[in-house]
Amino acid sequence: MDDIVALCRRRGFIWQSSEIYGGINGFWDYGPLGVMLKNNIRDAWWRDMVLCPPQGPDGQPLDILGLDCSIISHPKVWEASGHVAGFSDPMIDCKECKARFRADQIPDSQCPLKPSKKPGEHDKCKLTDARQFNLMFETHTGALKDDDNKTYLRPETAQGMFFNFKNVLDTCRVKVPFGLAQLGKGFRNEITPRNFIFRSREFEMMEVEFFIHPSTANEWYPFWRKTRYDWWCSLGLAGSNLRLRDHEKDELAHYARDNGGCCDVEYAFPFSGEKGFSELEGIAYRSNFDLTQHAKTSGAKLEYFDQARNERYLPHVVEPAAGLTRGLLAVICEAYTPDATRPSGVYMKFQPRIAPIKAGIFPLVNKDGMPEVAEKLYKELRGKYAVQFDEKQSIGKRYARMDEAGTPFCFTVDGDTLTGGTVTVRYRDTQQQERIGIDKVPAFMAEKIGG
């Protein structure tokens, strides 16, 4: 993991926030390559869930509409959702070494004062009893900083989709079953942010709330379980590093407890330790818990009249809730491929469709008209693809930089380009090179990347 973190820092994927001030625990900044990669994953999710949603069990495309709600909402939202009362983790302090732990992480946490001890060995430590610690970030709106003006940064995007449910029904002519989708920042004052960006205090998530008739949960829950697992596979996470895990009864969240139906898509991060896997996305059958709570707390009527069934009811919900920044970390871990045969010693094997830079375009040497030809090709492609022109240093060093950035293809303009109209294309994964006509490059890109 240390090597992956070092590459992310060195190549401008991810930096600790406010690093020149010593950093701030649990907050991260995304550099030029990181933000492109993150946006590509975000856009793939938006396209696959909202613009071109999957086909449902009956073979018909689903109806899923996008929303973008404010980060701060009426504080009653979080009373209704149960977050004010119950969104907390048990916290334990050590009076001797002053370390702070999340109670459930004690078995694999290291005592900072006694590095010789194994993780989980706290026998002589002075541990306090567990206290509940609410994870919501509080702030105040307006001039007065009193309790009447207390508001919260949202810990999830989900609630905006519930408290706008009626707005959607009134304005969008949708029929159950349908989904709402939202992505954006979430904030949780995690007791022990750790494992790089895996558990941060500010992160991004991508959530769908899929509203259904209560009698159809047995159809929709397995559908979403499979659809979301397949989606992560489509980003290149397939294979033994990805799995679906059904929750044990005692793990189920309050809204899922009586109904069953909660599972996680998990990835084998290098830090996942003995458990082997850590959560990327949770798929939960939430019944009508949230709409009931908001109807009760706000007094609004949130029932839906189903014309086909001639029935009025509060729809039930299946919720696939994914971490975008966590997904980004999984994609980075999966792509990281040490290779002693190449100058960079490592390359990032991103799928072409999510790679931050799609192609590098180089003149072999900085003379004989090569830069002009390469620049012309660059200008032709840059309107459509994220491509990079590079004329500095040796060609080997330029390939090495592109390998670390995970760029799948490099086109080099050389002497033969000027006489025969061909360029070399170098494939990142095999390092093989072949010649293609310079006029065929746009078609090559369209075939390999799309667009």
Q: Least distance in Å: CB of 36 to ligand GAP? A: 20
Binding range to ligand GAP, per CB under 6 A, among 6-14, 111-119, 196-204, 352-360: 196-204
| Cα–Cα distance, 338 to 3 (Å, whole number) | 10
Q: Are strands 422-427 and 433-437 parallel, antiparallel or unpaired?
A: antiparallel
Q: Least distance in Å: CB of 319 to ligand GAP? A: 6
- Contact at 8 Å (CB) between 412 and 423? yes
Q: Least distance in Å: CB of 3 to ligand GAP? A: 21
445 binds ligand GAP (CB under 6 A): no
Size of the site for ligand GAP (CB under 6 A): 19
Q: Least distance in Å: CB of 104 to ligand GAP? A: 14
What does the DSSP 8-state code read for residue 125?
S
Q: Least distance in Å: CB of 151 to ligand GAP? A: 19
Q: Least distance in Å: CB of 359 to ligand GAP? A: 31
In 196-261, the DSSP E strands lie at 202-212, 242-246
| Interface map 146-165 toward ligand GAP (x if CB under 6 A) | ----------x-x-------
When the beta carbons of 178 and 269 are compared against ligand GAP, the nearer one is: 269
- Contact at 8 Å (CB) between 192 and 199? yes
| Cα–Cα distance, 208 to 180 (Å, whole number) | 6
Q: Are strands 359-363 and 346-348 parallel, antiparallel or unpaired?
A: unpaired
When the beta carbons of 228 and 426 are compared against ligand GAP, the nearer one is: 228
Instruction: Among 14, 62, 321, 359, indicate the residue that binds ligand GAP (CB under 6 A).
Output: 321
Binding range to ligand GAP, per CB under 6 A, among 28-36, 317-325, 348-356, 423-431: 317-325
Q: 2-10 and 324-335 are packed helices; what angle lies between their axes, rounded to 10 degrees?
A: 100
| Cα–Cα distance, 178 to 165 (Å, whole number) | 11
Binding range to ligand GAP, per CB under 6 A, among 59-67, 307-315, 319-327, 330-338: 319-327
| Cα–Cα distance, 325 to 276 (Å, whole number) | 20
User: Which residues, numbered 279-308, are part of the site for ligand GAP (CB under 6 A)?
Assistant: 279-282
Instruction: Among 83, 102, 188, 353, indicate the residue that binds ligand GAP (CB under 6 A).
Output: 188
When the beta carbons of 325 and 424 are compared against ligand GAP, the nearer one is: 325
| Interface map 262-281 toward ligand GAP (x if CB under 6 A) | -----------------xxx
Burial class of residue 234 (count of CB atoms within 10 Å of its CB; 0-12, 13-18, 19+): middle
Select the residue whose beta carbon is closest to ligand GAP and give its number: 323
| Interface map 324-363 toward ligand GAP (x if CB under 6 A) | -xx-------------------------------------
Which candidate, 204, 205, 207, 255, places its Cα nearest to that of 82? 255
User: Which residues, numbered 200-259, are part of the site for ligand GAP (CB under 6 A)?
Assistant: 200, 203, 205, 207
- Contact at 8 Å (CB) between 296 and 76? no
Q: Least distance in Å: CB of 64 to ligand GAP? A: 16
| Cα–Cα distance, 79 to 154 (Å, whole number) | 12
Count helices and strands (H / E) in the chain: 13, 23
Q: Least distance in Å: CB of 78 to ligand GAP? A: 13
**CB environment 410-420: b (16+ within 10 A), e (fewer):** bbbbbeebeee
**Binding residues vs ligand GAP (CB under 6 A):** 156, 158, 188, 190, 199-200, 203, 205, 207, 279-282, 319, 321-323, 325-326
